[in-house]
Structure 1
Amino acid sequence: MKFRWFLYSIAGLALLSGCSSLPSVGPDYEMPEESTPDAWHDAVQDEFKSGKPDLQSWWTAFNDPTLNALIERAATKNYDLKTAAARIEQAAALRGVNAGLWWPEIMAGASASSYQLTRDNTFGGAVDRKGELYDASLSMAWELDLWGRVRRSVESADASLQAQVENYRDILVVLYADIAQNYINVRTLQERIHLAENNLKAQGETLKLTRNRFDSGLVPALDVSQSQLNFFRTQSAIPSLRQELVVAINRLSVLVGEMPYALEKELGVRKPIPVPPEELMAGVPADLLRQRPDVRRAERELAAQHALIGATKAELYPTLTLPGTLAVESSGGDLFSGANTYYSFGPQLKWSIFNGRRIRSQVDAEKAGTRAALHTYEQTLLLALEEVEDNMSAYAYEKDRIESLEVAAESAEKSVELVRELYTSGLTDFQNVLNMEQALLEQQDQLALSRGMVSSYLVGVYKSLGGGWALPDEAAE
């Protein structure tokens, strides 16, 4: 009777050990409190208004259907995203491995064999020399999670799974930004090639003019040589731009999960550089804690590491296991008769009372790993703030630069018209024509570059804010 009550007590402990509300050894996790600025730096306040930006589909602000289509294709075909999705499945499966330790392990077995003994082992014929043996068994082993080792392991696995989800989101953020920036680069290069070809055509007309004037004896051969220098210098720059365009299209093709050159025909027709919207919002720095996937991932990795302290510390305490076996065995008779049945059941207690401080050293290692994970989280947040500030200021100052470049390009265009008239009339030498044509090409090229950079910097702003996905509660709105 006493043994029966003892078994009932053990069964009660087994049920309690599976209860997640039981306290576990080791410190409980608390999300670190980080202070962030109340607002972004004053230098960018004029360009970015206060308010909540639309980060989930930020690329639609450029109103470019081709860009929208490329991002939609990448969302289903990019291999980095597929790899990240597989990592989530792997983490979910590993979480199941740890959660499975909550339950008993039950094993079944059976065997059948025939035998023949030597004559010397039959005890003078008292034992049959030949026979058959059959047995079937059911065994169980259940380690009770009294100190929370399994609960802490599952807690760590849960956090690791969540970290993989954030890793997927981070790859999504980077992917969409890379596609947008490479697409802007393609359109910028096409514009630069177009401008170079227009300038080359105009410089070709100038070269023809200088040759005619030389043949008429109106100008020296130096004018022809300088005009040729200008023409062929411009011509030599175009192949390099075309090579850059090929590289940009190849990069875009791979980003959307296709072979290089796959987008060559689709992007072959020149289109304008995407233009940023007039009104922009950037939210507040504190939003980075909720929106940036890399910050969220670092926090989840910290939580996963923190839980390992308790999981390891639980090994300092005794483990209670409930083993049991139920089996039947027969040498040819009725296998399932009561006389052929045997069983065993009873608790087993194990306690590592000396291990050369191995377990405590492992606990210390997990604590140090947690401190390292905390510092990684803090550094990730600082880098996120830095990245946003850098991209915002780059966007704001490049917009200021565009205004000057637009005036310079317009002035260079007027200057070329005027200096050609003066040269044709013989009122100025060719050096002024040469200088103005060079200045026009340079200013137009710089203006095209700047327009592309402004749009690319804005993409960098959206990327640094964690754009490309939305929190579940925000996506439902």
Structure 2
Amino acid sequence: MSRLSLLLIGASLSWGATIPAQFHSQAAGARPDPAVEQWWTSFHDPELDSLIERAVHANLDLKIAASRLLEAKAARGMARADLLPSVEASESSQRVRGGLTQGIFRPNAGSQSSLLAPFETNIFQQGFDASWEIDFFGGKRHALEAATADAAATEEARRDTLVSLLAEVARNYSELRGTQRRLEIAGTNINLQIDTLGLTKVRAEAGLGTELDVERQTSQLAATQATVPALEGARAMSIHRLSVLLGEEPGALTAELSEVKPLPATPPAVPVGLSGDLLKRRPDVRRADAEVAAARARVGVAHSDFFPKITLTGAVGRQGTSFSGLTLGAGNFFAVGPAIKLPIFTGGRLRANMEAQKQRLSQAQLAYQNAVLRSLEETENALTAYGREQERREQLQRAAHASQVATHLANELYTRGLADFLTVLDAQRQQLTVEDDLVQSDTAVVTNLVALYKALGGGWNR
């Protein structure tokens, strides 16, 4: 059995985490090759390829993640726009009606007087207003950096959703094929046990056996038949899950997936790669890295709040006035000048905000280290599970062959009267158990390999 051979590297991570030079766990067939991006094609199962392709285009969780990415990119565009001047057009008009000292003289309750007759004044103005906050102290620039990092983190979250989707489709598909195979084995054993029950009844009627043998075989048959409903339920649930993963109703793929097909075949060599490659492939690690960058940029924004904000403002336009039907003329106007805002007393708000942003940065750095350690743990566990299950499957293959021979011999000896019926029952029970365990192990080898590919971050760049 081959062993995992990996080149030695040491990688220091930018936010204080380190990774080992190589993976500790070993698995048969693992090789240092980072080509894991199209890992599902290594199973050479066209139906699995089709399901994955359809899931990538129709899965609702992936569509939600894509929408969040567009939202984050729009927020980045808003932050970029804050660095540029803003120009607005405006137009206004007012009509003022009144008179000097209107309402002073009231000779009687039913009249109003004024020194001058009421007049009407129309005022209109058209122009453009412009403003530009000069980013002397980097607040706007840091805000753009934070928005850019947020968009990058959202992109990695979408990729993480994609990696999980690919793995879940492959896992549920493999479990479906494994369950179908277990149902086949149960059906075969049920038929054999029915034949044995018939033979037992004939021998009992001929005086060569006993009613106890008949009842024991009847019990064995019923116990085997009892396993079928649970397996049928598991088969249905796998189909339901696959249907939902493809954005369809739970039973939509029942007709398509009901045909019994073999488990996907595992490749002879598994491209594991170097432990340092996890930093390049794992979307959750890349997301945590982007979140650190965003938190660091927000510390810069908080720092810039301590300094003055200088804004250049300007206006240009035309305005005019008409008075009681008399046009007084219109003229152009122009205004420009700076505005300065300096924080003098804020009640400690700025310092508190700075401390809060620093703590968020510290949290993001710790989360990054945790993401790296978690990725290493998941990969080590997946390598261990895959390698140990391969060894278990080899033992079960030998046990399955031996149990088939034992059942055949037990039946022959019982027919000749050289063995009691308990020997036959034990042989049948052992054969069914071992064959079912073997199929479950075959399935586990495939699903553990899928988990390994997921731990390696394979498939995110689709």
Q: TM-score, normalised by structure 1?
A: 0.88
Kept in 1: contact 2:179–2:231 (CA 8 A): yes
Secondary structure of the corresponding residue to residue 344 of structure 1: strand
Distance 1:255 1:96, change over 3 A: same
Which residue of 1 is the match for residue 369 of structure 2? 378
Tell me what 1:49 maps to.
31
| CA–CA distance in structure 2, aligned partners of residues 131 and 39 of structure 1 | 85
**C-alpha contact 2:152 2:290 (8 A) present in aligned 1:** yes
The separation in 2 between residues aligned to 1:40 and 1:173, in whole angstroms, is 21
Q: Distance in 1 between matches of 2:28 and 2:333?
A: 85
Partner of 2:107: none
Letter in 2 for 1:182: N
Q: 1:466 to 1:241 in 2, by over 3 A?
A: same
Q: CA deviation at 1:171?
A: 0.7
Q: Could you tell me which of 296, 304, 309 is aligned with 2:299?
A: 309
- 1:86 positional shift: 0.5
Deviations 1:38-71, CA, capped at 9 Å, x for gaps: 2212x41643123x23211100000000000000
Residue 158 of structure 2 is aligned to residue 171 of structure 1: no
Distance, in Å, in 2 between the alignment partners of 1:248 and 1:152 is 48
Structure 2 distance, partners of 1:336, 1:445, is 100
Decide which of 241, 253, 257 is 1:263's aligned counterpart.
253
| Aligned equivalents of 1:364, 1:400: Cα separation in 2 | 54
| Higher fraction of strand | 2
- My pick for the range that moved more, 60-69 or 341-350, is 341-350
Residues 144-168 of structure 1: CA deviation (Å, up to 9, x unaligned):
1110000000001001101111111
After TM superposition, give the deviation of residue 115 of structure 1 in Å. Answer: 4.1
Equivalent in the alignment of 2:19:
36
1:423 aligns with 2:414: yes
1:101 aligned onto 2:92: no
- The residue type equivalent to 1:367 in the other structure is K
- Taking a change above 3 Å as real, the CA distance of residues 268 and 288 of structure 1, as seen in their structure-2 partners, is same
Match of 2:285 among 254, 279, 295: 295
Alignment partners' CA distance in 1, 2:63 and 2:357? 32
Counterpart for residue 90 of structure 1: 71
Deviation sequence 1:336-373 (CA, Å, 0-9, x none):
99853333322111111221221011111111111110
Distance 1:115 1:379 in 2: 68
Residue 469 of structure 1: how far off its partner (Å): 3.0
Aligned-partner residue type, residue 134 of structure 1:
F
2:50 aligns with one of 69, 75, 82: 69
CA spacing shift, 1:106–1:47, aligned 2, 3 Å: same
What do the CA deviations read for 1:186-220 (whole angstroms, capped 9, x no partner)?
A: 00000000000000000000111111111112211
Q: Deviations over 1:90-146 (max 9, x none)?
A: 001111111111122222221234443247449844x86234332223222221111
Change in Cα spacing, 1:357 to 1:120, as seen in structure 2 (3 Å) is: closer
* Aligned AA (1:35): T
**Relative to 1, partners in 2 of residues 1:58 and 1:332: Cα closer, same or farther, differing over 3 Å?**
same
Matches within 5 A, 1:5-404: 31-32=14-15, 34-41=17-24, 43-44=25-26, 46-50=28-32, 52-118=33-99, 120-121=101-102, 124-125=115-116, 129-332=119-322, 340-404=331-395
Task: Give the secondary structure class of the aligned counterpart of 2:90.
Answer: strand
Q: Which moved more, 1:211-220 or 1:312-321?
A: 211-220
- Which range moved further: 265-274 or 195-204? 265-274
CA contact (8 A) 2:59 2:247 kept: yes
Q: Percent identity?
A: 36
Amino acid at match of 1:445: D
SS in 2 for 1:316: coil
- 3-state DSSP class of the match of 2:124? strand
Cα 1:251–1:336, aligned 2, differ >3 Å: closer, same or farther?
A: farther
Q: Which residue of 2 aligns with 1:3?
A: none
Letter in 2 for 1:77: A
Please give the alpha-carbon distance, in whole angstroms, between the structure 1 residues aligned to 2:276 and 2:64: 30
- The total of aligned residue pairs comes to 439
- Paired amino acid for 1:103: L
Of Structure 1 and Structure 2, the greater helix share is in 1
What residue number does 2:105 align with? none
Q: Secondary structure at the match of 1:200?
A: helix
For residues 343 and 326 of structure 2, what CA distance do their matches in structure 1 show? 41
Q: Hey, what's the Cα distance between the residues in 2 that align with 1:244 and 1:48?
A: 31
Over 3 Å counting, the alpha-carbon distance change for 1:216 and 1:318 in structure 2 is same
Q: Return closer, same or farther for 1:355/1:132 CA change in 2, 3 Å cut-off.
A: closer
* Structure 1 Cα separation of the partners of residues 289 and 328 of structure 2: 60
Query: How far apart in 1 are the matches of 2:345 and 2:42?
Result: 65
CA distance in 2, matches of 1:457, 1:34: 27
CA distance in 2, matches of 1:40, 1:144: 51
Q: Return the letter of the residue paired with 2:30.
A: F
Cα separation, 1, equivalents of 2:308 and 2:270: 61
Match of 1:27 in 2: none
TM-score of the aligned structures, taking structure 2 as reference length = 0.91
Distance 1:154 1:372, change over 3 A: same
**Residues 235/281 of structure 1: CA separation in 2 closer, same or farther (3 Å cut):** same
Quick check: 1:134–1:335 contact (8 Å CA) kept in 2? no
Partners of 1:436 and 1:268 lie apart in 2 by 32
Query: Structure 2, unaligned stretches of length 5 or more?
Result: 1-12, 103-112
State the alpha-carbon separation in 1 of the partners of residues 268 and 282 from structure 2.
Answer: 25
